[in-house]
Structure 1
């Protein structure tokens, strides 16, 4: 249980950094080159760009901090799986933004931020954490970096050193 709480805390910190990156880039693009006054689908594309950048930031943080004991020795497959899950989270966020902006006609910057960066992010975060935990960084997956470092797991799943 301690490990899960610690992981959730680290995931939250990494997510907060990713949120700042996502929020900043989204609003910068929405206010400038992808303004809805200039490009009708500007908020949608601003969210795509900001989310892609945040996915990279989050992968680095989660790979090297949140799930460091469970990461794969080879990053390629893990990175692809991380991106697939993250894109699923992005679709959730984009769905919320799309419904609010294009279906319900709530087109202000505040409405776009609430739908895409609050509601969509909350739903997408729950989705991503669950799939990162059970699929991308699952501790029983073969080829994890932590599996070869001379450590074993105790009854709660916490890693313990087996060296003398």
Structure 2
């Protein structure tokens, strides 16, 4: 008769893993910030595009570059069986993060009247910090899930309704295969 002991990592091991993940997230995020801020600066000051439009364009490009870093470097060992689900949720949470960032920029510019190029950057930095915390929690919790252990149920209780709804929509869509 064989017995199995649960090999759950200690709190110290989990904190080390989380800090390593946070560092990787920060490295990829930093590259996205460079893309985001560089493109934002070029669009607002070089091209003369309005700041909110520039922010949306710059953030969309950064989202695309960040996805590649998260999927193929940081979370490469995570479950990729449902890539369609992953991309849908990534875009959903990235879009919410973009709204947080753009809303903060708009508030600082149009409500507080901070309209110089450096004040706009300050509003963008504030929005980016808040959006980054949101993205980190949502990506690691719902987008790039760890491989499920055998004894865990397939559906995780406590997921937000938007995640459950997105998963139901994706599951209901017929799978498409290429015909020969």
TM class, shorter-length: 0.7 to 0.9
Number of the residue aligned with 1:22: 36
Counting matched residue pairs gives 135
Which residue, 122, 128, 143 being the options, matches 1:136?
143
RMSD: 1.5
Number of the residue aligned with 2:103: 95
TM-score, normalised with respect to structure 1: 0.78
Which residue, 52, 66, 69 being the options, matches 1:58?
66
Number of the residue aligned with 1:156: none
CA deviations 1:88-128 (Å, max 9, x no partner) are 11111111100011111111111111111x11111000000
Consecutive unaligned residues of structure 1, counting only runs of 5 or more, are 36-41, 143-164
Q: How does 1:14-163 map to 2 (within 5 A)?
A: 14-35=28-49, 42-116=50-124, 118-140=125-147
The 2-side partners of 1:56 and 1:114 are apart by 23
Contact 2:79 2:147 (C-alpha < 8 Å) held by counterparts: no
The 1-side partners of 2:114 and 2:103 are apart by 14
Greater gyration radius: 2
Q: Note closer, same or farther for the CA distance 1:71–1:52 as it changes in structure 2 (3 Å cut).
A: farther
CA deviations 1:130-164 (Å, max 9, x no partner) are 0011100121569xxxxxxxxxxxxxxxxxxxxxx
